[in-house]
Amino acid sequence: MKILIIHGPNLNMLGKREPDIYGATTLEEINAALTSKAKGLGAEVTFFQSNSEGEIVSNIQDAMSKFEGVVINPGAYTHTSVAIRDAILSSGLPVVEVHISNVHKREDFRHKSFISGVALGVVSGFGVNSYMLGLSGLVDYLKDNENN
C-alpha cells in the first residue's frame, strides 16, 4: 500500500523557527517517524515538500497513477488554494488533511479550509502526532475498502 505524504509551504522550517507553535521536531524527524509508523501498518510512504502551489498541484496529479492515498499538510495554502482543492477532487484519491496546530483555536482566517470539503478526513491540533493519526486513519480506510 503506497501512500504519498505532502508537506506544504514553510514546513521545511519545522524545528528551526517558531517552536512554541509548531514544536521542536524537524521535518526530517517527522518523515523518519512516519516511515517507521507506516512499516508497522504494512504501508510504504513517499515524501514531497514544496513552497510552491503549482508544484503541489502537479505532484497531486502525478500521484494518481502511483499511490493509493495521500496525507497532506497544505500549510497556509489550506486557507487560500482552490487549485489544490481542484487537484485533489480530480485525482479521485482519498486524501487526509493534517495540521500540527489546532487551526480552529487560532486566527479567524485559519478557520476556513478549501481542502476539508474534498478530504476523506481532517486531523488538527495534535502536534506532529497529527501526521501519525492521519496516516493510520487513511491506512485503515484503504484496508476496509481494498476490494471495492
The residue among 1 and 33 lying less far from ligand CA2, judged by its C-beta, is: 33
Q: Binding to ligand CA2 by residue 5, rule CB under 6 A?
A: no
The residue among 11 and 70 lying less far from ligand CA2, judged by its C-beta, is: 11
The SS3 call for residue 45 is strand
Residue type, 106: R
The SS3 call for residue 48 is strand
The residue among 11 and 41 lying less far from ligand CA2, judged by its C-beta, is: 11
Q: Binding to ligand CA2 by residue 78, rule CB under 6 A?
A: yes
Q: Binding to ligand CA2 by residue 24, rule CB under 6 A?
A: no
* CB of residue 118 to ligand CA2, shortest distance in Å: 16
Q: Binding to ligand CA2 by residue 95, rule CB under 6 A?
A: no
Cα–Cα distance, 31 to 44 (Å, whole number): 12
The SS3 call for residue 55 is helix
* CB of residue 16 to ligand CA2, shortest distance in Å: 6
Q: Binding to ligand CA2 by residue 11, rule CB under 6 A?
A: yes
Cβ atoms 77, 84 nearer than 8 A: yes
In Å, how far are 7, 15, 39, 40, 113 from 89, measured between CA atoms? 18, 32, 28, 29, 14
Cα–Cα distance, 107 to 101 (Å, whole number): 12
- The footprint of ligand CA2 on residues 115-144 (CB under 6 A) is none
Cβ atoms 131, 70 nearer than 8 A: no
* CB of residue 144 to ligand CA2, shortest distance in Å: 27
Give the interface with ligand CA2 as residue ranges (CB under 6 A): 10-11, 13-14, 17-18, 22, 73, 75-76, 78, 99-101, 103, 110
